[in-house]
Amino acid sequence: MIRTVSVLAILLVLGALAAAVVPHLGMPRELAGVGREYARDGMEVTGSANLVTAVIVAYRGLDTLGEVVVLFCASTSVVLILTLFPLGVRPSPPSRIVEHTARVLPAPILLFAFYFIAHSHLSPGGGFPGGTVMASAFLLVMLGSTSVPGRSGSLPAIEALAGISFGLLGFWGVLTAGQFLNNRVLGTGTPGQLVSAGLIPLISIAIGAKVASEFSGVFAAFRKTGGME
Amino acid sequence: MSPTLMGIMAISLGSMMLSAAVVVLFVRDLLSAIIITGFVSLSASALFLLMDATDVAVTEASIGAVLATLIFLWGRGKIGGGE
């Protein structure tokens, strides 16, 4: 009873706050400030047909680098906690539906993830969503079997390689153009071509590999320590 | 301003999402709560798709609806069922 009342009270307070804020937000009719600059010159400056990726990877590349570092810390601590307190439960065999789905679906999911990462500068996409989709394909493979992943060095190796290459691509700009993560060190090409937009596709691939290997490492740790039902 | 198809879809998706989010708070069974949380994420993903934010929609679908739901499910397994 007390729980229900307190929940309702919190909901009411939050609703009142939202009702007070929303009328002042409004949708601006046109872009202002730095957004207008990005929309006007973005395609020409970065060579990326997809402006969202241009902002995420090129204009705000440093933020993305920080985001990747945060994700690295989070996944490392999850794996650490899981290995410190193992349950030692053997995975139970999957049902027939899961078993057979896990044989068919991962291939198209992986294909979609590769497309999503490689075409992030042309159509909606990006390293982060592509990496998570890729990790969900690996998760499906894992759920479809009873095998326990052994001690593998390849996942941390891919993760480290991707992180280091992101940093090195940034420093390439420092060496040649005097600016960290300068996008024009490679030449931007024609917007709309697969090989265009300077560093953006390379950085997207690095982010995708890093995110996919981190999430897969977390799943492998769950399976190894008996966390999966 | 007559309601467009997009507007109707957005309003119905939003109200489904809101009601599911409220239902989660009052459900006794932990498993149902987790599944309904996943449904909230899925409707959020559909809303992002309506707003032409395809990449955000894919992120929300894979992270919110799949990975987060699964991690909640594993956590539920670790604490042994719950309420």
Alpha helices in B1-83, H assignment, sequence order: 5-26, 30-50, 54-59, 68-79
Query: Which token pair is A195?
Result: 């090989």
Residue A31 has phi, psi (to 5 degrees) of: -70, 150
Statement: residue A175 has pLDDT above 80:
no
Statement: residue A220 has pLDDT above 70:
yes
Statement: residue B83 has pLDDT above 70:
no
> Nearest CA to A50 among A148, A127, A125?
A125
The CA-atom distances, in angstroms, between A128 and each of A17, A61, B15, B48, B76 are 32, 13, 29, 16, 27
- Listed by start position, the domains of chain B span 28-83
Residues 6+ apart with CB under 8 A from A55: A38, A42
In the prediction, which pLDDT does A13 show?
Answer: 92
DSSP designation for A100: H
Partner B contacted by A129 (CB < 8 A): yes
Residue-wise pLDDT tens digits, A24-82: 766 666 777 777 777 777 777 777 777 788 788 777 878 888 888 898 898 889 888 88
Residues 6+ apart with CB under 8 A from A150: none
In the prediction, which pLDDT does A213 show?
Answer: 87
Between A89 and A111, where is the model more confident?
A111
- Quick check: B38 and B17 in contact, CB under 8 A? no
Statement: residue A94 has pLDDT above 70:
yes
In the prediction, which pLDDT does A88 show?
Answer: 66
* A218, closest residue in chain B (CA to CA): B71
Size of interface A-B (CB pairs under 8 A): 49
- Quick check: A47 and A196 in contact, CB under 8 A? yes
Task: Give the distance from residue A96's alpha carbon to the nearest chain B alpha carbon, in angstroms.
Answer: 19
Q: Do A124 and B25 touch (CB under 8 A)?
A: no
In the prediction, which pLDDT does A108 show?
Answer: 92
Task: Quote the ipTM score.
Answer: 0.75
Statement: residue B3 has pLDDT above 80:
no
Question: In chain A, pLDDT over 70 holds for what percent of residues?
Answer: 84
DSSP designation for A227: -
Compute the mean pLDDT over every residue in chain A, rounded to the nearest whole number: 80
pTM, 2 dp = 0.78
